Structure 1
Amino acid sequence: MVVPKREVALITNPAAGRGRSAGARDAAVNRLRSLGVRVRSLEGRDQVGATDVARAAVADGVDALVVCGGDGMVNVGLQAVAGTGTPLGIVPAGTGNDTARALGIPRDDPPAAADLVARGSIRIVDLAVTGGRYYSTVFAAGFDALVSERANRMHRLRGRARYHLATLVELRRVAPRSYTLDLDGRVVRTDAVLVAVGNGPSFGGGLRIAEGARLDDGMLDVVVIAPMSRAELVRAYPRLLDGSHTSLPQYTHHRARRVTVAAPGIVAYADGERFGPLPTTIEAAPGALAVLAPGGAA
């Protein structure tokens, strides 16, 4: 369906993408206003403040909430709109932009992303939820989480380069951990270097760890990588770029609607944001997000 856009709230993290979001915001606001859309341009100083601002705008009845930034800002938007019916628009301006990538939203063209908002075509997709907090891409709970933790401290790089370097640094101390997974009541105990729970296929700027995951199938894709040597991990890493790691003998894939992940010493990440230590339970939230994206019903 197409929802007329009388007024949207556009919220920006001015620090996203090393300041790129300010330019993207201005380009998107100008395009929206030229198309007759009224825009409330808002900012959040940090994630908590941005979430409060976003929730207030949705409660005030805007026709759509638009986030300008990276996957962290998308995550802010999810907390405000999930389950409300208020559609989310995305103007990518961050480091990874994996949610936009999965949805087919232009990642380097803010006016084109704004055109999707003005057009008003809504696509209904799934989210995942853990501890009352939603995510749209991948829950990282192993070596991938350690890389995210390291990458978030690397402020001088962006995009894939940031994750590549963080991976090389963390490889020096990679070690398998013992995991207990509960997959819709089926318990699996295994040693692994990486566990990921995907709602979407990629994280880290296009690393397709959960290759084959779909945003509209009501399921979570659980990827387990069995212990590998440092040399094997170095050789396997480039295969995440095209999803060909799925042919590795250490790769195992499960699908479930509800997943509990437990392991010592892991702080999990999702949408590039710190979610907290394991154990945690993740559930699929089918149809929880209305998003302004290509392929939406018109």
Structure 2
Amino acid sequence: MRAALLFNPGAGGATTEAELVSALDRIGWKVQFRVSEEHLDPDLSEHADVVVAAGGDGTVATVAKRLAHTELRMAIVPMGTVNNVARSLGLCLEPMAAIAGLATPVERRIDLGALCTGPKESYFVEGFSAGFLGHVLGEKASDRHKKKASRAFTLIANALETYPSHRYEVQADGRDLSGDYVLVAVMNARSLGPALTLAPRARLDDGKLELVCICPEEKRTIIDALRRAEKEEDLSLPAFETIRAERVRIHGLGRWAHLDDEPWELDDPVEIAVAAGAVRWLAPSRHL
């Protein structure tokens, strides 16, 4: 197997690039070259059979979005602090064990979410949200707060104490779900941001998105869960009602929204659709 390696040494893991290359070699994956995010191109298929994304959610999302609707496959070696995507896929979070599991890979397909604004689509892997999460991470959070889970929990809890609800017009596959909410999220993965599990039943390979609309009455329960997690760094959110849909329209975003691990300033309204099976993914066979 000819591999191209995209490695993020700042993702938080202690594994070195040399160790990754050696482990891949042991399972018969020959790293032909290393690539950077700037030079990741689908044309690599002439020289590689797979792009290995070794890093956190940002690295995984970069590879997945660049390879969307191409024939080039990707593999995931989780090395991040949060690893929302890897957890949603049920992958082993220890890098060497994750590589060992790829000795006999099975090809599957991963869905992406597509934010349909402007002349072209913007893809996401984890999710899109409007409301308190985009407000906090867009206006309040530094990189330091984003990297440390307990600090992010504190920041979100503090902001949510006084965060008001907003009126959102929401349509999910033509169904009207408009109302007053503190958060409206469209999830492809189970969790978003600092391991906020908003849609625990979400799957990245079912051709559907999960819509989560959180009412102001649920604020107190969320804040209490975040306060407990400040010390434990293990967040257990309440189970929210979710709606499975292929297309969602949201009007009433306000200034900030949140797309995967980045805050976004978006024009209102937005259309979101599932890009079913957009990415070819090599999964460890024992994962199935």
Q: TM-score, normalised by structure 1?
A: 0.81
Q: Which residue in the other structure is 2:173 paired with?
A: 184
Q: Which residue in the other structure is 1:47 paired with?
A: none
Alignment of 1:67-106 (within 5 A): 67-106=53-92
Cα RMSD of the aligned pairs, angstroms, is: 2.9
Instruction: Report the alpha carbon displacement of residue 223 of structure 1 after superposing the two structures with TM.
Output: 0.5
Structure 2 CA distance for aligned equivalents of residues 233 and 242 of structure 1: 9
Instruction: Report the alpha carbon displacement of residue 198 of structure 1 after superposing the two structures with TM.
Output: 1.0
Indicate if the aligned counterparts of 1:151 and 1:163 stay in contact, CA closer than 8 A: no
Q: Which residue in the other structure is 1:110 paired with?
A: 95
Instruction: Report the alpha carbon displacement of residue 145 of structure 1 after superposing the two structures with TM.
Output: 2.1
Structure 2 CA distance for aligned equivalents of residues 65 and 292 of structure 1: 10
Q: Which residue in the other structure is 1:272 paired with?
A: 261
Instruction: Go from structure 1 to structure 2 and tell me whether the alpha carbon gap of 1:36 and 1:254 turns closer, same or farther (over 3 Å shift).
Output: closer
Indicate if the aligned counterparts of 2:42 and 2:70 stay in contact, CA closer than 8 A: no
1:124 to 83, 86, 109: 109
Q: Which residue in the other structure is 1:212 paired with?
A: 201
**Per-residue displacement from partner, 1:91-114 (whole Å, max 9, x unpaired)?**
11222211111112222x211222
Aligned residues: 278
User: What amino acid does structure 1 have at the position aligned with 2:263?
Assistant: R
Indicate if the aligned counterparts of 2:42 and 2:67 stay in contact, CA closer than 8 A: no
Indicate if the aligned counterparts of 2:91 and 2:287 stay in contact, CA closer than 8 A: no
Structure 2 CA distance for aligned equivalents of residues 58 and 275 of structure 1: 30
**Per-residue displacement from partner, 1:138-158 (whole Å, max 9, x unpaired)?**
222211223433685142673
Indicate if the aligned counterparts of 1:11 and 1:41 stay in contact, CA closer than 8 A: no
Q: Which runs of 5+ in 1 are unaligned?
A: 45-49
For the pair 1:221 / 2:205, whether they are aligned, the reply is: no
1:30 to 14, 22, 33: 22
Alignment of 1:281-292 (within 5 A): 281-292=271-282
Structure 1 CA distance for aligned equivalents of residues 204 and 74 of structure 2: 15
Corresponding residue SS for 2:196:
coil
Greater fraction strand: 2
Q: Which residue in the other structure is 1:39 paired with?
A: 31
- Of 207-216 and 144-153, more deviation after overlay is shown by 144-153
**Per-residue displacement from partner, 1:39-67 (whole Å, max 9, x unpaired)?**
145353xxxxx1x4222563544100111
Corresponding residue SS for 1:141:
strand
Instruction: Report the alpha carbon displacement of residue 271 of structure 1 after superposing the two structures with TM.
Output: 2.4
Corresponding residue SS for 2:152:
helix
Indicate if the aligned counterparts of 1:222 and 1:255 stay in contact, CA closer than 8 A: yes
Instruction: Report the alpha carbon displacement of residue 258 of structure 1 after superposing the two structures with TM.
Output: 0.5
Corresponding residue SS for 1:16:
coil
Structure 2 CA distance for aligned equivalents of residues 230 and 187 of structure 1: 23
**Per-residue displacement from partner, 1:151-208 (whole Å, max 9, x unpaired)?**
8514267353243122134235411111111212233321100111111211234321
Structure 2 CA distance for aligned equivalents of residues 234 and 274 of structure 1: 21
Alignment of 1:155-194 (within 5 A): 155=144, 158=147, 160-194=149-183
User: What amino acid does structure 1 have at the position aligned with 2:129?
Assistant: A
- Of 34-43 and 136-145, more deviation after overlay is shown by 34-43
- Of 33-42 and 215-224, more deviation after overlay is shown by 33-42
Alignment of 1:229-268 (within 5 A): 231-237=220-226, 241-242=235-236, 245-246=238-239, 251-268=240-257
Q: TM-score, normalised by structure 2?
A: 0.83
Instruction: Go from structure 1 to structure 2 and tell me whether the alpha carbon gap of 1:297 and 1:68 turns closer, same or farther (over 3 Å shift).
Output: closer
Structure 2 CA distance for aligned equivalents of residues 285 and 296 of structure 1: 26
Structure 1 CA distance for aligned equivalents of residues 216 and 259 of structure 2: 22
